[in-house]
Amino acid sequence: MTQVLINGLGLIGCSLALAIRQAHPAVQLVGCDVQAVTRDYARQHQIVDEVTSDFSAAASTADVIILAGPVSVITANLATLATLTLKPQVIVTDVGSTKQTVLQAARPLQQQGITVIGGHPMAGSHKAGIQAGRADLFENAYYFLVPGLAPQAAVTQLQTLLVGTHVKWLTVTPMQHDRLVAQLSHLPHIVAAALVNQTQTTFADSPLGLRLAAGGFKSITRIASADPTMWTAILLNNATLITNRLQAYQDALGQIQAAIEQQDVPQIKQFFTAAKTTRDHLGPERLGSLPNFFDLFLNVPDQVGSIADVTQRLAQAKLSLVNIHILEIREEVDGVLQVTFANAATRDQAAALLQAADYQIVRRD
C-alpha cells in the first residue's frame, strides 16, 4: 500500500490530504505537525490515517513525502531528509510559495539519487491552519511543477496521486516560477499589508477610522490577513526578485503621483483605463466549485445546547449555513462557536438575528 507522509497539516497540507483521500481511499496517509492541537484535530477528524510528530521516522517508511510547512521549514526538512535513509523510490515534493531556494536545498538529496519534484498550488486562502482545509481548495487552479531531472514516470505518479485536487498542471523552472509569483502573489501581499498598516497609522487617533472602510478597501486588503510566519519565510526566500518588483511598483506610484500633482488629466485617465481593461479580462475571483467562506464567531455559554439553538434560529429565518463547530471547549467557561456561510450577506443577516437573541458576536471574517 502506498504510504504518503504530509509534513505540516495546515491549510495546504490538510487540503491535499482531503483531496488525496477522496481520489485514493486505499492510500495510507500519515500526517506530521509540530503543533499538538493540529495533530489532535487531524486525529479527531480522521484527516489522515496516522498522526505523528516524528518527521524522520515517518519519512523513512514513506513512498511519497509532501513538505507543507512554511518555506523555511521546507528547506530545513530537505536538509534533514538528506541525512536519513529513505526508500530508494521515494518521491519528495513540496508546496512552498518559492522554488529557487527550495530546489537549492534539495540538491544534496538529489545528489543521493532521490527524486525531488518542486510543487506549488496557486490556490489558497488568507486563512491558515488545519480547520480551513478543504478537499476542493485547489479546484481549477494552476499547480506549478518543477520536475528538474525527475523521471517522467515519477511526475506522472505524483500527478496521479494528486488527481483529486482537479488542478491544471504547469511545468516551470525555479527562476520562471519565482519571477511569476514575485509579481502576481508576493508583491500584492506586501502592498495589501502596507496599505492596512499605513491606514491604521493614519487613523490611530480617530475613534471611527478604519471601521468606516468600505468594500473596496476590504477587497484589496483581504490577503493582509494571511499568516505572518508563512509570509516572512516567503519574503526571505524570494528577496531579490521581490525587491525588484517593489521598486517597479514604487516607480509606478511615483508616476501617478506626478500626474496628479501636474493635474495631467489624460495621464490620470489613461492610468485607470489601462487598469480597467486588464482587470475586466481577468475572470472570476473564485475558480473552484464552492465560494469562499464567510465566518461568524460567537461566544456561547453552553456549547451543546447553543449549537442546537443557533441552528434552529438560522433554519427558522431560512439562513443556510455551510458548517458549524466549537472552537474552544473548556469546562465552566464560555466557548466560541464558528458558524460558516456561503456569502457575506447571509452571514451579516445571521449576525443581526443572533445579536437580537443576545448572542455576543466576537468576530466576523
Ligand X SMILES: NC(=O)C1=CN([C@@H]2O[C@H](COP(=O)(O)OP(=O)(O)OC[C@H]3O[C@@H](n4cnc5c(N)ncnc54)[C@H](O)[C@@H]3O)[C@@H](O)[C@H]2O)C=CC1
Residues that bind ligand X (rule: CB under 6 A) add up to a total of 31
Nearer to ligand ENO, 223 or 339 (CB): 223
Whose CA is closest to 21, among 46, 43, 40, 39?
Answer: 46
Kindly give, in sequence order, each residue whose CB lies less than 8 Å from that of residue 251, ignoring residues fewer than 6 positions away.
Answer: none
CA distance 314 to 357: 11
Contact region with ligand X (CB under 6 A), list: 93-101, 153-161, 249-257, 310-318: 93-101
What is the pattern of x (binds ligand ENO, CB under 6 A) and - over residues 214-243? ---------x--------------------
Residue 178 interacting partner from ligand X, ligand ENO, none (CB closer than 5 to 8 Å by kind): none
CA angle 350, 325, 126 (to 5 degrees): 80
Whose CA is closest to 29, among 46, 41, 12?
Answer: 46
Phi, psi angles (nearest 5°) of residue 257: -60, -45
3-state class (DSSP) for residue 338? strand
Cell of 258: 506626478
What is the pattern of x (binds ligand ENO, CB under 6 A) and - over residues 92-131? -----x------------------------x-xxx-----
Q: Interface residues for ligand X in 55-74 (CB under 6 A)? A: 68-71, 73-74
Matching residue, cell 513512498: 63
Phi, psi angles (nearest 5°) of residue 266: -60, -40
120 near 96, Cβ under 8 Å? Answer: yes
Nearer to ligand X, 95 or 114 (CB): 95
Q: Interface residues for ligand X in 232-271 (CB under 6 A)? A: 234
Nearer to ligand X, 116 or 128 (CB): 128
Tally the C-alpha atoms within 13 A of residue 42's C-alpha that lie toward its C-beta: 31
Residue 69 interacting partner from ligand X, ligand ENO, none (CB closer than 5 to 8 Å by kind): ligand X
Nearer to ligand ENO, 118 or 335 (CB): 118
Candidate residues 108, 129, 148, 288; the one interacting with ligand X per rule CB under 6 A: 129
Residue 185 interacting partner from ligand X, ligand ENO, none (CB closer than 5 to 8 Å by kind): ligand ENO
Nearer to ligand X, 20 or 298 (CB): 20
What ranges make up the beta strands (E) of the chain? 3-7, 28-32, 50-52, 64-67, 91-94, 115-121, 142-146, 168-171, 294-300, 323-326, 335-341, 360-364
Candidate residues 3, 93, 97, 100; the one interacting with ligand X per rule CB under 6 A: 97
What is the pattern of x (binds ligand X, CB under 6 A) and - over residues 175-214? ----------------------------------------
Angle between helices 187-202 and 228-237 (to 10 degrees): 130
* Residues found near ligand X in the complex (CB under 6 A): 7-13, 32-35, 38, 68-71, 73-74, 95-97, 120-121, 124-125, 128-130, 227, 230, 234
Binding site for ligand ENO (CB under 6 A): 97, 122, 124-126, 185, 223
